[in-house]
Amino acid sequence: MDPVAALKQIALYLERAGEATQKVRAFRRAAAKVAEIDPDEITTRAKAGTLTDLPGIGNSIALVIAESVMGGEPSYLVNLMGKQAGPVAGGGALRAALRGDCHTHSDWSDGGSPIREMAEAAIALGHEWIVLTDHSPRLRVANGLSADRLRRQLEVVAELNVELAPFLVLTGIEVDILLDGSLDQEDDLLAELDVVVASVHSQLRMPKAEMTERMLTAVANPHVDVLGHCTGRLVVGKGRPESEFDAPAVFAACAEYGVAVEINSRPERLDPPRRLLRQAVDLGCQFAIDTDAHAPGQLDWLPYGCERAEECGVGADRVINTRTADDLLAGIAARC
C-alpha cells in the first residue's frame, strides 16, 4: 500500500471520528513529508528502522509507513476502519441520493485543509460537486474572508474546476447574519456566488422577538439560498442552548422565499432538533443536508443528517443537494 495514501486515509478516518486537530495534522504533515522523498529511500529507511530520524515522523507514523511499504495494510488503519463501519443505522436511501454538499470550509478560513484536498475527498465519497462556503469577514476568529480575499478565492476555484472536471467546486460563502439581519459581505459579490449559506454566529441569546426579526430579514434577502444551523445549539461537552426565535414564522418565510433549511450533520450540532425539523417539514420547506465540514474526513458526516431527515419525513425530492449542479443552480436562479 502506498504510504502517502495510507497516512491520508488515516487522517480522513480521524477527522470523521472528530479526533483532535493536532493528531490529524500530524498524519497529514507526515504524508506531505513522505511524498517529497524518493520511494526507494523510504523503503530503505523502513527496513533499517530509521524512519523516525525524519522530522515529524514518530513511532506510530513510522509503523504505518513501514507496514505500507512492506506490502501490508497498516494495523493503525485496519483498527480505525473496524471502529467506523457506519456512523448511524438509518438514512441510507437518502444518503445514496445526495450528489453534493452545500456547506464546506477550507483553510482559507477556519478549515484545516486546502480546497483541493476537500474536493478530492468529496470525489472519493462519490460527490459530483461541493459548495465552498468559507466564513465572511466579521467572524475574525474563523479568519473570515474579506471581499478581496473572496475574489481571489473565486479565481482559484475557477482554475481548480478546469483540472477536476467534471467534478465541480461551486462558489459560495457562509455569510454572517448581522444583528439587524443584513449580511456580512458586499451585495455585488454575493450576487456572483453560486450558493449563499446565511448563519447566525453572534449574540445567540438575544431576545426571541429580536432574533426572529433578524432571521426573517435575512431569509427575505434575495441572495440567501440556505439558512444555516438555525438554532446555533451544541449538543456535546458543555453544550450550548438553542437560540430562541419564532420557528413557525421563520420556516414559513423560508418556504415562501425558497430558502432551504439546513439539516446540519455535524455531530456536535445536529441542528435543527427533531421537533423543529418536523415543523419545517409541515410548513413546506426545502432542505439542504450538509456536513459543515472543516476537514476532508468530515465530509463523510452526511449520514448523521440523513438519518434525522428520514426520521422526520424529509423526502429526497425536498433536498436540494440531491440535484445535479446544473439543476441546483437553475433552481436558485429561478427563485431569484
- Whether the link from the prior residue into 74 is cis, omega within 30° of 0, is no
- Gap between the Cα atoms of 65 and 25, Å rounded: 16
In the block, which residue shows the cell 453560486? 194
Instruction: Give yes or no for residue 85 having a pLDDT over 60.
Output: no
Is-contact 176 136, C-beta < 8 A? Answer: yes
- Gap between the Cα atoms of 18 and 13, Å rounded: 9
- Gap between the Cα atoms of 321 and 229, Å rounded: 16
Instruction: Give yes or no for residue 336 having a pLDDT over 70.
Output: no
Q: If you ran DSSP here, which 8-state letter would residue 206 be given?
A: S
- φ, ψ for residue 259, nearest 5 deg: -90, 125
**pLDDT tens by residue, 96-144:** 999 999 999 999 999 988 999 999 999 999 999 999 999 999 998 889 9
CA–centroid distance for 42 within its chain: 34
- The reported pTM is 0.88
